[in-house]
Structure 1
Amino acid sequence: MDNHSYNFPSDCTPLTNCKSARKPAGSTVVNMGGSGKSPPRDYLIWSLCNTLYVNFCCLGFMALIYSIKARDQKTQGNLQLAQECSDKAKWYNILAAGWNLLIPLLAVVLLVLLLVHLGSSQGSFDFFGEDGFQNFMKLFSW
């Protein structure tokens, strides 16, 4: 379309407002939700960390499954089921994190108890001395 052949209406000129144009009727209000509650959390990052680190008895993997379910239900608008899945993911994450902290802690405690026992036992093996490791290995030789 050529600019020279186009005719503007008599009450409108380019780059100005038209007198006959429809004027806005006021403001528009959009209600984003009536309850005021925030949507449930899905704990996805926490579940991924628990899945990748130790993952005793697959508790982190179960938390990951429920986290993904919670996120899916939240996107579909089913907030009640999303809240239930979110609660399950939270508790599986708590259990997985507890186990992930408990296992290394138990290993350190057992190592300390072993060293204390070897230091106070009959014959008093000097574990950190010159012949300590050889004496320790003699305990396990036939």
Structure 2
Amino acid sequence: MNHTVQTFFSPMLKEEHDVAVPGAPHNPAPPTSTVIHIRSETSMPDHVVWSLLNTLFMNPCRLGFIAFAYSVKMVGDVTRAQAYASTAKCLNIWAPILGILTTILLIVIPVLIIQAHR
């Protein structure tokens, strides 16, 4: 038994048709197009979640709260918003560093005092 399967591929043809609209003047000039550039909203990191975690857990000198305040400021000016985001990032970096150093000092200093009295 010899079965031959034939597949027919029809090429996709793109046809153009000129349609004349009754009553409209025939214009031989090609149609013009208008391009509209829409600026997308620039996405800026606001560091709200990071600031909130620093406010709740590592908050020496209230840096986490101040960072949170800078994080939630919404300003129409992109330059000012970038400055607030940068300030919030800097404060969010320093909050855990100072929190860890404070925790270490609160453990090390009493241990050293107890060792000195023995």
TM category (shorter chain) comes to: 0.5 to 0.7
Amino acid corresponding to residue 105 of structure 2 in structure 1: L
The TM-score, its normalising length taken from structure 2, stands at 0.58
Residue of structure 1 in register with 2:113 after alignment: 114
In 2 relative to 1, CA 111–32 (structure 1 residues): closer, same or farther, beyond 3 Å? Answer: farther
Task: Provide the alpha-carbon RMSD of the alignment.
Answer: 2.9
For structure 2, list consecutive stretches of 5 or more residues without a partner in the other structure. Answer: 1-34
**Larger RCO (CA under 8 A, 6+ residues apart):** 2
Amino acid corresponding to residue 53 of structure 1 in structure 2: F
Residue of structure 2 in register with 1:46 after alignment: 50
Residue of structure 2 in register with 1:92 after alignment: 91
**Deviation of the 1:53 alpha carbon:** 2.0
Contact 2:58–2:96 under 8 Å retained in 1: no
1:1-142 map, 5 Å: 33=39, 39-69=43-73, 72-73=74-75, 76=76, 78-118=77-117, 121=118
In 2 relative to 1, CA 32–117 (structure 1 residues): closer, same or farther, beyond 3 Å? Answer: farther
In 2 relative to 1, CA 32–110 (structure 1 residues): closer, same or farther, beyond 3 Å? Answer: farther
**Deviation of the 1:54 alpha carbon:** 4.8
**Deviation of the 1:52 alpha carbon:** 1.3
What percent identity do the matched residue pairs reach? 35
**Deviation of the 1:64 alpha carbon:** 0.4
The TM-score, its normalising length taken from structure 1, stands at 0.49
Q: What's the CA shift string for 1:85-140, capped at 9, x where partnerless? A: 0011112212222221111111111133134323xx4xxxxxxxxxxxxxxxxxxx
SS in 2 for 1:39: coil
